[in-house]
Structure 1
Amino acid sequence: MSSQEPDIDNSPPVDDSPQEKSIEKKNVLPTTVHAADDFEQKVVEKLGDIGNNTAPLNDIEYVMDKIGILSVEECKDIIRDLLKHHEYDYNFSDSQRKKLAALIEGPSDNQATEEWELELKTEAAINKFFSPYPEVRAITTPTDDVNIPYWSFTVRGQRVSLNPGPWTYKEQMLSTIIIDVGLTSAYCFWNIQTQTVYYKDKWLTPGYGILLLLSTQLMGLGFSGLLRRFVVYPVEAIWPNILPTVALNRALLVPEKTETIHGWRLSRYKFFFLFFGGMFIYFWLPDFIFPALSYFAWMTWIAPNNFNLNTITGSTNGLGFNPISTFDWNVLSAYSYPLAYPFFAFFQQFLGTLLAGLIIIALYYTNTNWSAYLPINSSGIFDNTGNSYNITRVISPDTGVLDESAYEQYSPAFYSAGNLVVYGAFFAFYPLTMVFIILDAWRPLLKAYKSMANAAISSTRKLLVGIKNTASSLARGDVRGAGRHLRSINDESSIYDGFDDPLTNLMRSYPEVPDWWFLIIALVAFIFAIIIVTHWPQLNTPVWTVFFVIGLNLVFLIPMSYLYSISGTTEGLNVVTELIIGYALPGHPEALMFVKAFGYNINGQADNYVSDQKMGFYAKVPPRAMYRGQVLSAIITAFVAYGVVQFADTQIPGICTPEQVSSFNCENGSQVYFSASVVWPDLSRY
């Protein structure tokens, strides 16, 4: 077991040559003790400035050690390559880009040559041997200890590994990743609840529910393996939404030297518990003592009976146009993370929200599609009397297919103005995302496509040659030779091929997860999906829909996941799936729900899994340990979700109704699911 503290290993990577390093240092470092001390102090100060005081001192010292091996010309080349690589990178600040461009031109006015050279080398070293992003430098390290914690002994030739000692950072991160897979409910929870509560299906069985949950959960995991070249290993894929989680775990588990920053002498560990205590005390106020602070609709208090004022500024049933809308961080961060998202992404979301609110007002007050007779901002669906739509009046209870005559006698379905704008925004999102990727982000994606294509070609060629040689050996009766050829089929290409940044190079110390491991998971999930549509004909879902939804994800998955990795935000494929299936299978609401589950969940779960893999990448968690943890967690989550949905639907009286005594409503879950299942299969009528 290593005696070093976790992730404080300051030794150089294994590919460095100590002898060459010491020779080069002699040519660039000060020769006297006093000069060396002065040089070191200046470098530490300069690295602190560059890192915005976010990188731990141990990491700064590691980069400082690298400065001595760089010449001025090497530093200029490093910075030129850096500027070219990040030319279209939204997370690489424009001010930093201008600063580096000016730096390679030479000393600025009134700047000493020695000072300029120090700044040049420091900038080059921190970008070459660490990361060009200060937010990434704040949550990870440029070094790794592969022995955290590892202790083993041999019994009859077999190695038995134990993990004694204190709980380590890597173990904490692996546990976080395992939990994060099942942190939110499985998406198909809403399928099952909608079919039980709204459609009142009597044919639902445990086999159906569990297979559906397993299939949708695991297919996303299978697809996530294909995304690694696109959104895990590229440097620009920083995944801003996961950085707070990594930072928190690091602050709690990784020892660090206490530093004085801006006059404050406080470790991250103490900082967390100080604010944790304050938050614990404060949140009793908006969450329990005075809930009005959560939805602080103070303007409606001025004139409680003013309909228009409540419609525009109300928080619950209104649009919430309110400059001071909440004092509850849980409400503020429900749909976005203002402190984690890049400014360009969050500002665009803010402008989009403001514009959408104005459009909703225009639709509502012009009574577009009779929306003025309904709540202005509801996710529900209504009939022509303004009541919640009763789907059981218009479908066959045995097949879930629309009854045309019952529909004509009852009512078409109506959406609120808010929901009309939401779906309009979805239709704009899909083409704009593809245009953005094609015009702006094609370079890194093309590189990843080439890497994946080369790996596929290499694997296929090796497979065909191996099969041919194996068959030839068997034809000659050479069983031993056939076995040797079978073993040679193993592809020697690596998922890391084409990536040469410091963090990826550290991960090369661990056995990688082959692509086919993920493909096996996807294949199993695919088989489960085929079993569902063939064994339960009540769904009225043709087999071709499974192939369709997989093809749809192959088109959109990579661009949307890449957008997620650089901005922290994305949207699902549920709406485009609903649109296409609504036209392809009119009058089949339950078929639409089934296909929608895969349309959204392949993308949503793949993003969830691959973002967790990026967390493990930052923490240097062995990839195969992450794979085992994610597969196990996905399976457990499916069974737990089924048990919970059965309990909720059968043991909570009045679930998903406004009259439920404990307010267990389904506004953001199965109610939305139900609404979509009614409207989209009825598209041909509009």
Structure 2
Amino acid sequence: MDKSEVEDYNHEKHSVHSYSEKYEVERFDDILEANIDLQEDDNSPIEEVRVTVANTDDPSMPCNTFRMWFLGLMFTAIISFVNQFFYMRQTQISIGYSVVALLSLPLGHFMARTLPTRDFTLFGRTFSLNPGPFSIKEHILIGTMTACNTSTAYAVDIVVLQHVFYNDKKPFIAGLLLVLTTQITGFALAGVIRRFLVRPAHMVWPSTLVTASLFRSLHVSTETAEDEGRMSRMNYFLLITLGSFLYYWFPGFIFPTIGMISWICWINPDNIVLSQLTGSNGLGIGTIALDWSALSYYVQPLVTPWFAQLNILVGFILVAWVMVPWAYYTNLWNSKNYPILSAGLFRENGSEYIKDEILTDSVFDQAKYDAYGPMRMDSFFALTYGVGFAGLTATIVHVVLYNGKEMIARWKSARAENEDIHSRLMNVYPEVPDWWYGLLFVITLALSLVTCIVWDYMPWWAVLLALAIAIIFVLPVGIVQAVTNQQPGLNIVTEYVIGYMLPGHAIANVTFKTYGYIVNVQALTFTSDLKLGHYMKIPPRIMFMAQLTSTFIAGLINLSTATWLVSTRPNICTKEGYPFTCRSTKTFYSASIIWGAIAPARVFGHKDGAIYSPVQWGFLIGALLPIPFWFAARKFPNITWLKYVHWPVLLAATSNMPPALPYFYTNGLFVGFIFMFILRRYRYSWWSRYNYLTSAAMDSGVAVCGLIIFFAIQSWEGAMPHWWGNPEDGHIDHCPLGGASYYGLIA
């Protein structure tokens, strides 16, 4: 039997009725029940895939439709704007996949009921605006167009950095090309690795199974007997969204103090140590956040599994509440001269480190540096770098120990190109030609070189080296992520490499990091989406066009939004510019000074009085930590908790601090305990039906309210009258010394 006969056989055997007929008579639970009777060869060898993804397909189901493109591009534009807008605020909000999935569903059905059904002809092609009922494949494509752009474009921070902190305003086209090349080059790499990470059955990509389950549950056509008498998911979503919208007026505008209630500090707000330990700008012990945007952004308490949250909790306590107070109050590295938690950079005496004093034309000047003095940072910031070093090596060692044999077996399986039922079903659809990806890579490489050379971001050889790092690591990191759902980051590696090779150049450092790190991340993000399309039987060429188009639009909107805010908001990225304080961008700026302008040799090495070199022991410590626990788990298999000690997650717990604040974690983990432990264990029926909807609805309500507050009030210079809950001095938590040094100096 030749290939064409195999494809015909699979098409006839596994393609069910036509789409319109199936819409009337089939339900997904019927499909799942029918799957039980299929032979093993007609299903995935992976159990998680078997119980989540249907091993049937209907190639006649519409997906490349006007509805898909209209809703997909609309949500891409909205999400790109909203997420970039809130990215620059004090408390960030990110609207994700689940929100788009839920909002686009009723809109898709509405369009299917109202759009005209007659055929149109354009450029010789006949099509209909309304080819039938709104399909799950259209829905998947809409979600994918927004999902691959949920995170704001990383390179936008470079543009903001230059404009706000370095007073180096490049033309808009320079920033746009920087954003687009760093976002899209990874897509070209995804095309190269897809044959190893998408088609093989053993490359599972666990996160895509969650998404597949979500979309299939939304397209079950009828309620089960268990659902009778219960509020529908859509009504529940709308109700919680309304409640979230109405409530957020208080922490977001009327009564911001309830977003950071540092009640212990109020006992004696003039006590510096008490303020540092309990203030929202300090370690936040006891601080209560009645603000969803604060407690949800970093922990995502209704989404992150409780097992992972436990590891985060242990890691957070060890670093933030044990290691940091010990280092600070023993005056390690003269810590008492600086705040206990800050992403700022300081001089020896605790005053702000003015970068202009050591730079000439944004390049490090040794003579100025010798005259001005070395850069210092608080112990928290320095230690989190060490913990980050440990997390990187711990991830590698943990994966090798716990997943090494499995990875080798799956890699051999991938090399053998064994195909399960899903790969055979996908043979019906024409694959994207390799030359499409090759041409895309050539174009983005050429534009990358032009961008970096013409506008002096970094030398041409640095572009090639950064992309080489991304290319070398993309397959091994991809295998790790496809098997273990972990993605080791390359940001520290790239900063280190260029920091030693091109010291003194801040913008070159962050640009190199972006090309080396984000191109790798984007490649794996696109690959994950391709795997989702593989599971849900989305034609590859349509997926290619949807991903590429949406990424271009999202990058343009991200940059335009950031440029507009920087140009119109006074004092942006400063305390006076609240709420647009740019916490993440300021951390990015500090990294540009540490790794770029001053360079790692003067910070973590042994040059010009570097004092933070001990944190480099983190590399060795991280590599050693998983080993005894791995041996112990093998030696004592009956001690179950040993299997749940996950050092990569535990060490990564504080990787977002700064810019994240400790009270974000404590409040988020408390909410996670309620939803992901208590409700999941004791109210599983409610939890399984409404938990993720609650998270999506809360995000949606906060985002809509935040936008209305800004555009209807703040953009017209409107403001809430000052009162105790909205103090005029800007100390929202009424704990002014929380961000001060041990000696009371407020930087």
Taking structure 1 as the reference length, the TM-score comes to 0.68
In structure 2, the gaps of 5 or more residues are 1-8, 16-24, 64-116, 603-609, 611-747
Q: Which residue of 2 aligns with 1:31?
A: none
Tell me, yes or no, if the aligned pair for 2:14 and 2:425 is still in contact at 8 Å.
Answer: no
Residue 126 of structure 2 aligns to a residue whose secondary structure is strand
Question: Cα deviations across residues 183-219 of structure 1 (Å, max 9, x unaligned)?
Answer: 33211111111112211225x2334222212211111
Residue 127 of structure 2 aligns to a residue whose secondary structure is strand
- Cα 1:348–1:560 change in 2 (3 A) is farther
Question: Per-residue deviation at 1:303?
Answer: 3.6
CA distance in 1, matches of 2:213, 2:418: 28
CA distance in 2, matches of 1:597, 1:288: 35
User: Are positions 1:580 and 2:497 aligned together?
Assistant: yes
Question: Per-residue deviation at 1:631?
Answer: 1.1
Counterpart selection for 1:668 from 561, 584, 587: 584
In structure 1, the gaps of 5 or more residues are 1-11, 19-55, 79-124, 455-496
Task: Give 1:587-606 correspondences, 5 Å limit.
Answer: 587-606=504-523
CA distance in 1, matches of 2:227, 2:366: 71
Question: Per-residue deviation at 1:595?
Answer: 0.5
- Cα 1:224–1:366 change in 2 (3 A) is farther
User: Are positions 1:331 and 2:297 aligned together?
Assistant: no
- Cα 1:290–1:561 change in 2 (3 A) is farther
Q: Which residue of 1 aligns with 2:266?
A: 301
Task: Give 1:636-651 correspondences, 5 Å limit.
Answer: 636-651=553-568
355-364 vs 161-170, which deviates more?
Answer: 161-170
Tell me, yes or no, if the aligned pair for 2:200 and 2:414 is still in contact at 8 Å.
Answer: no
Tell me, yes or no, if the aligned pair for 2:186 and 2:521 is still in contact at 8 Å.
Answer: yes
CA distance in 2, matches of 1:283, 1:257: 34
Alpha carbon RMSD of aligned pairs, Å? 3.7
User: Are positions 1:498 and 2:418 aligned together?
Assistant: yes
Question: Cα deviations across residues 462-515 of structure 1 (Å, max 9, x unaligned)?
Answer: xxxxxxxxxxxxxxxxxxxxxxxxxxxxxxxxxxx4231x44444333222244
Work out the number of aligned pairs and report it: 529
Residue 334 of structure 2 aligns to a residue whose secondary structure is helix
Question: Per-residue deviation at 1:435?
Answer: 2.3
CA distance in 2, matches of 1:640, 1:499: 39
Q: Which residue of 2 aligns with 1:677?
A: 592
549-558 vs 365-374, which deviates more?
Answer: 549-558
CA distance in 1, matches of 2:451, 2:545: 26
Residue 148 of structure 1 aligns to a residue whose secondary structure is coil
What amino acid does structure 1 have at the position aligned with 2:263? Answer: W
Tell me, yes or no, if the aligned pair for 2:344 and 2:377 is still in contact at 8 Å.
Answer: yes
- Cα 1:155–1:403 change in 2 (3 A) is closer
Counterpart selection for 2:308 from 340, 345, 348: 345
Tell me, yes or no, if the aligned pair for 2:27 and 2:220 is still in contact at 8 Å.
Answer: no
Q: Which residue of 2 aligns with 1:372?
A: 336
User: Are positions 1:65 and 2:34 aligned together?
Assistant: yes
Taking structure 2 as the reference length, the TM-score comes to 0.63
Task: Give 1:241-260 correspondences, 5 Å limit.
Answer: 249-250=215-216, 252=218, 254-260=219-225
Tell me, yes or no, if the aligned pair for 1:341 and 1:568 is still in contact at 8 Å.
Answer: no
- Cα 1:677–1:439 change in 2 (3 A) is same
CA distance in 1, matches of 2:533, 2:60: 16
Tell me, yes or no, if the aligned pair for 2:201 and 2:418 is still in contact at 8 Å.
Answer: no
Q: Which residue of 1 aligns with 2:542?
A: 625
- Cα 1:274–1:637 change in 2 (3 A) is closer
Q: Which residue of 1 aligns with 2:395?
A: 433
CA distance in 1, matches of 2:306, 2:197: 20
Question: Cα deviations across residues 204-245 of structure 1 (Å, max 9, x unaligned)?
Answer: 233422221221111122222344355545666665656666
Tell me, yes or no, if the aligned pair for 2:187 and 2:526 is still in contact at 8 Å.
Answer: yes
Question: Per-residue deviation at 1:173?
Answer: 2.4
Tell me, yes or no, if the aligned pair for 2:324 and 2:380 is still in contact at 8 Å.
Answer: yes
Identity %: 31
Counterpart selection for 2:348 from 366, 376, 384: 384
Residue 441 of structure 1 aligns to a residue whose secondary structure is helix
- Cα 1:129–1:440 change in 2 (3 A) is closer
Question: Per-residue deviation at 1:13?
Answer: 6.2
Residue 392 of structure 1 aligns to a residue whose secondary structure is helix
Counterpart selection for 1:200 from 167, 182, 203: 167
Question: Per-residue deviation at 1:583?
Answer: 1.4
User: Are positions 1:413 and 2:375 aligned together?
Assistant: yes
Counterpart selection for 2:426 from 502, 507, 524: 507
CA distance in 2, matches of 1:168, 1:593: 43
Q: Which residue of 2 aligns with 1:225?
A: 191
Structure ID, larger Rg: 1
Question: Per-residue deviation at 1:444?
Answer: 5.7
CA distance in 2, matches of 1:67, 1:255: 19
What amino acid does structure 2 have at the position aligned with 1:599? Answer: G
Residue 566 of structure 2 aligns to a residue whose secondary structure is helix
- Cα 1:561–1:425 change in 2 (3 A) is farther
Q: Which residue of 1 aligns with 2:136?
A: 169
Q: Which residue of 1 aligns with 2:670?
A: none
CA distance in 1, matches of 2:262, 2:136: 43
What amino acid does structure 1 have at the position aligned with 2:150? Answer: L
Question: Cα deviations across residues 511-559 of structure 1 (Å, max 9, x unaligned)?
Answer: 22244433332332222222233334x44x3332223222322343344
CA distance in 2, matches of 1:659, 1:256: 52
Tell me, yes or no, if the aligned pair for 2:407 and 2:483 is still in contact at 8 Å.
Answer: no
Q: Which residue of 1 aligns with 2:59?
A: 146
CA distance in 2, matches of 1:385, 1:412: 11
Tell me, yes or no, if the aligned pair for 2:32 and 2:54 is still in contact at 8 Å.
Answer: no
Question: Per-residue deviation at 1:598?
Answer: 1.0
Residue 27 of structure 2 aligns to a residue whose secondary structure is helix
- Cα 1:266–1:616 change in 2 (3 A) is farther
Tell me, yes or no, if the aligned pair for 2:144 and 2:547 is still in contact at 8 Å.
Answer: yes
Question: Per-residue deviation at 1:601?
Answer: 1.2
Q: Which residue of 2 aligns with 1:41?
A: none
300-309 vs 186-195, which deviates more?
Answer: 300-309
CA distance in 2, matches of 1:57, 1:286: 47
- Cα 1:148–1:281 change in 2 (3 A) is farther
Higher-RCO chain (CA-CA 8 Å, sequence separation at least 6): 2
CA distance in 1, matches of 2:562, 2:424: 44
Residue 583 of structure 2 aligns to a residue whose secondary structure is coil
CA distance in 1, matches of 2:423, 2:118: 27
CA distance in 1, matches of 2:446, 2:398: 35
Q: Which residue of 1 aligns with 2:179?
A: 213
- Cα 1:280–1:178 change in 2 (3 A) is same
CA distance in 2, matches of 1:353, 1:57: 49
Q: Which residue of 2 aligns with 1:261?
A: 226
Tell me, yes or no, if the aligned pair for 2:11 and 2:428 is still in contact at 8 Å.
Answer: no
Tell me, yes or no, if the aligned pair for 1:389 and 1:413 is still in contact at 8 Å.
Answer: yes
Tell me, yes or no, if the aligned pair for 2:530 and 2:543 is still in contact at 8 Å.
Answer: yes
CA distance in 1, matches of 2:277, 2:480: 32
Residue 308 of structure 2 aligns to a residue whose secondary structure is helix
Question: Per-residue deviation at 1:424?
Answer: 1.0
Question: Per-residue deviation at 1:581?
Answer: 1.4
Residue 398 of structure 2 aligns to a residue whose secondary structure is helix
Question: Per-residue deviation at 1:646?
Answer: 2.9
CA distance in 2, matches of 1:155, 1:644: 37
Q: Which residue of 2 aligns with 1:89?
A: none
Question: Per-residue deviation at 1:59?
Answer: 3.3
CA distance in 2, matches of 1:318, 1:589: 28
CA distance in 1, matches of 2:373, 2:405: 51
Q: Which residue of 2 aligns with 1:38?
A: none
What amino acid does structure 2 have at the position aligned with 1:526? Answer: L
Tell me, yes or no, if the aligned pair for 1:379 and 1:668 is still in contact at 8 Å.
Answer: no
Tell me, yes or no, if the aligned pair for 1:63 and 1:129 is still in contact at 8 Å.
Answer: no
Q: Which residue of 2 aligns with 1:319?
A: 283
